[in-house]
Amino acid sequence: MRRSVSAIAGLCLLLSVAVAAAQTPASEPANGETLFRQRCGACHQVATPRNGLGPHLQGVVGRAAGSVGGYNYSPAIKGAGIVWSTDNLDGFLTNPGAMVRGTRMTQRFANAAERQAIIEFLQQKQD
- Enumerate binding residues for ligand HEC (CB under 6 A): 39-40, 42-44, 53-55, 57, 60, 65-66, 68, 73-74, 76-77, 84, 89, 92-93, 103-105, 107, 109, 118
Query: Which residue lies nearer to ligand HEC by CB, 30 or 40?
Result: 40
CB of 25 to ligand HEC, least distance (A): 20
DSSP one-letter string for 6-33: HHHHHHHHHHHHHHHHHHHHHHSPP-HH
Sign of CA dihedral 24, 30, 33, 35: positive
Beta carbon of residue 24, minimum distance to ligand HEC (angstroms, whole number)? 24
Q: Smaller CB distance to ligand HEC: residue 43 or 123?
A: 43
What is the spatial distance between Cα 40 and Cα 125, in angstroms, rounded to a whole number?
Answer: 14
CB of 74 to ligand HEC, least distance (A): 3
- Cα torsion 73, 77, 83, 89 to 10°: value is -100
Nearer to ligand HEC, 5 or 53 (CB): 53
Minimum CB separation from ligand HEC for residue 19, in Å? 32
Nearer Cβ to ligand HEC (7/50): 50
* Cβ contact 39:57 at 8 Å: no
In angstroms, the CA 57 to CA 5 distance is: 59
